[in-house]
Chains A and B, each alone.
Chain A
């Protein structure tokens, strides 16, 4: 079996509050193998967002270890984490999070700027991915010229531009109507079929149903972990 993309061992995170330490995540174990498509579910306050921030290397755990592509990143410095986010991970957010002043092409190419790629290869890669998500003809437009569903497609193109090992999507359809949500989920399905590993956070069961595996969180712990009907 292939080496897991993610291996989490006894991962915990506590926050200091006025009432003392609050444990948001209480010793979670999880493995994600290449090509998996996982939906992380749970009500708000269940710890799934905290878990997602840790998986995304935006935060460091209080205890436990996190192996990303075989490397323990639990106690890395901020800049090393930034490089990991840049090279290994792709983010898709609920609010799309495109930079409003930049053309779609520049938005998609932005991770490559921080990776130090030259202008020509940035342009070529951004074009290729915009074509892939069907928005090549809007490459020079600004984000506010296109619809929310289209913006999310651009955000997915941006997440893919550095050829990451893993796509992390945080409520990617939360701001979209059901029809557009279906389109986005279809795109995720296609990407997964190409072999891209996807971890998706959602609280909507019908969105989660697109994934091959569902992991449910409650009170900072995993309460269920099972394959869905999508798993072939």
Chain B
């Protein structure tokens, strides 16, 4: 019986092709818009998530304080107020999973006839853990390298390409500021950070080597920055508070004296960026669903016209034994079929356009099966919701009146 009804619904749709096609177009545009907007929105979210995950999670940095000489203020990390011992003390605190004192700056690198300017970071092995940075070729340095200030370096992908070209950099010796450094490993690619800076344009060397050979320090053991990783996002505020009180105590700051260091929550900035894209993607989806709603109203409109036009047919069907349920099913089925067919076409159109956007603009789009499922569920709901009223109207016609209708 359902099969017979399906084929009848198909016939009815075919009876007025242009009208059916235009009704369907409403759904096609609606579903297509939802698919495209979701693909773009999720793509943007994915891109931001990706960038955030390259930064490392639950991170904050402690910068040494500023100083003032003759009214000129140095800005953060100008004064040598932090040292390696502060880092070691922070590492003892509860909820801290990694601590990496760092000293960084831009230096000229030389290998053979090539040279390249890059960011040089002097730090401890924990830095790589905190930032979840892996080594794809060669190996990292250990605590013994930091203790004995060996001249070894890890280089990012960009540095490897610019300095070594097609050669394998591992085992080669390059120079940073006249000092020879042996490349012992190549870092995995991280791409751009949120500011758009190339994170792969980096050289990482042991902290002690950086301080003694590359940057020099005002006092032995002083660092400009300490990167701290909390063990969870929930613990971040508590860890930041305990680091503040620990450092104030260690620096012998009395009540009322300002901190001689700064703290920056790196994760918070990233989270707010993620929140922004999430909001944007919800907004895009909401706007697109309005067109889906309009498509549904189009279906209802046409079904109402169809019921009026086919009043006599409904009368005949009732006379030969169609129950109210049968008439209801018939018209509902038509509405759902139009909406499903429209949804399917819309899905294909949306996918094609989303892939086109990706191909021509390089914008990241994410096409998820769940988005397609949601679109389908919504289309079915729209079909039933907007098909219900006309179908019920048809089913409740009086057979005598309907038969008399001209």
A85 & B319 in contact (Cβ 8 Å cutoff): yes
CB-defined contacts of B320 to chain A, threshold 8 Å: 85-86, 91, 110-111, 114, 158
Q: Is B325 an interface residue (CB 8 A)?
A: yes
Q: A99 and B313: CB pair below 8 A?
A: yes
A115 interfacial contact with B, CB 8 Å: yes
A82: chain B residues at CB < 8 Å are 318, 321-324, 326
Q: How far is the CA of A114 from the CA of B327 in the complex (A)?
A: 10
Residue contact A87 to B321, C-beta cutoff 8 Å:
yes
Known: A101-B15, A102-B11. A114 touches B403 (CB 8 A): no
Q: Is the CB of A56 within 8 A of B319?
A: yes
| A162-B400 Cα distance, complex, nearest whole Å | 21
Chain A residues contacting B4 (CB-CB under 8 Å) are 113, 119, 122
Q: B116-146 toward A: CB 8 Å interface, digit per residue (1/0)?
A: 0000000000000000000000000000000
**B residues within 8 A CB of A111?**
320-321
Q: How near does chain B come to A94, taking the closest CB pair, in angstroms?
A: 10
Find out whether the CB atom of A53 lies under 8 angstroms from the CB atom of B326.
Answer: no
Q: Mark B303-325, 1 if CB is under 8 A from A, else 0.
A: 00000000011011111111111
| Interface membership of A78, Cβ < 8 A | yes
- Tell me whether B400 and A59 are in contact (CB under 8 A): yes
Give the nearest-CB partner of B313 in chain A.
A99
Chain A interface, number of residues (Cβ within 8 angstroms):
27
Specify which of A58, A87, A162 is in contact with B399 (CB 8 Å cutoff). A58
Q: A97-B312, A101-B11, A101-B12 are in contact. Are A115 and B321 (CB under 8 A)?
A: yes
* Residues from chain A with Cβ under 8 Å of B318 in the complex: 58, 82, 85
Residue of B nearest to A113 (CB): B4
In the complex, chain A residues 97-149 whose Cβ is within 8 Å of any chain B Cβ: 97, 99, 101-102, 110-111, 113-116, 119, 122
Asked if A93 is an interface residue, CB under 8 A from chain B, the answer is yes
Bound CA span A56–B11, Å: 29
Residue B1 interfacial (CB < 8 Å) = yes
Check if B322 sits within 8 Å of A99, measured CB to CB. Answer: no
Report B9 CB to chain A, min CB distance, Å. Answer: 12
Question: Contact at B324–A97, with CB atoms within 8 Å?
Answer: no
A contact residues around B312 at 8 Å (CB)? 97
Q: Which of A82, A85, A86, A93 has the most chain B CB within a 10 Å cutoff?
A: A82
- Contacting residues, chain A, for B399 (C-beta < 8 A): 58
* A227 interface residue (CB < 8 Å to B): no
B405 → A minimal CB distance (Å): 11
Does chain B have a CB within 8 A of A83? yes
Q: How far is the CA of A53 from the CA of B315 in the complex (A)?
A: 13
B254 at the interface (CB under 8 A from A): no
Any A CB within 8 A of the CB of B3: yes
A226 to B31, CA, bound (A): 69
Q: How far is the CB of A143 from chain B (nearest CB, A)?
A: 12
Interface size on B, residues (CB 8 A): 24
Interface contact A85-B321, CB-CB below 8 Å: yes
Q: Confirm or deny: A194 has a beta carbon within 8 angstroms of a beta carbon on chain B.
A: no
A206 within 8 A of B: no
Q: How near does chain B come to A78, taking the closest CB pair, in angstroms?
A: 6
Check A79 for interface membership: any CB of B closer than 8 A.
yes
List residues 315-373 of chain B with CB under 8 A from any CB of chain A.
315-326
Chain B contacts for A56, CB-based, 8 A: 319
CA distance A116 to B4 in the complex (A): 10
* Most A Cβ at <10 Å: residue of B4, B12, B15, B313: B4
| Bound-state Cα–Cα, A83 to B315, Å | 15
CB of B20, distance to nearest CB on chain A (Å): 13
What separation, in Å, do the CA atoms of A29 and B287 have in the docked complex?
67
- For window 207-254 of chain B, which residues contact chain A by CB distance below 8 Å? none
Nearest B-chain residue to A56, judged by Cβ:
B319
Bound CA span A119–B4, Å: 8
Given contacts A53-B400, A93-B403, contact A110 B15 (CB under 8 A): no
A162–B166 alpha-carbon span in the complex (Å) = 85
Chain B residue at minimal CB-CB distance from A161: B320
Nearest-Cβ distance from residue B17 to partner chain A, whole angstroms: 12
Tell me the nearest residue of chain A to B1, going by C-beta.
A116
Measured between alpha carbons, how far is A83 from B322 in the docked complex, in Å?
A: 8
Cα distance A226–B326 in the bound complex, in angstroms: 41
Within the complex, the shortest CB–CB distance from A174 to chain B, in Å, comes to 14
The answer on a CB contact under 8 Å between B3 and A119 is yes
CB-contact partner of A79 in B11, B12, B324, B403, under 8 A: B324
Chain A contacts for B325, CB-based, 8 A: 79
Chain B residue with the shortest CB-CB distance to A87: B321
CA distance A113 to B5 in the complex (A): 9
B residues near A91, Cβ cutoff 8 Å:
319-320
CA distance A162 to B321 in the complex (A): 10
With both beta carbons as reference points, the residue of chain A lying nearest to B399 in the complex is identified as A58
Residues B372-406 near A (CB distance < 8 A): 399-400, 403
Within A154-195, which residues are at the interface with B (CB < 8 Å)?
158, 162
- Decide if B319 touches A114 in the complex (CB within 8 Å): no
What chain A residues lie within 8 Å of B313 (beta carbons)?
99
Q: 29 A–B contact pairs at CB < 8 A?
A: A53-B400, A56-B319, A58-B319, A58-B399, A58-B403, A59-B400, A78-B323, A78-B324, A79-B324, A79-B325, A82-B318, A82-B323, A82-B326, A83-B321, A85-B320, A87-B321, A93-B319, A93-B403, A99-B317, A101-B12, A102-B11, A110-B317, A110-B320, A113-B1, A113-B4, A113-B5, A114-B323, A115-B321, A119-B3
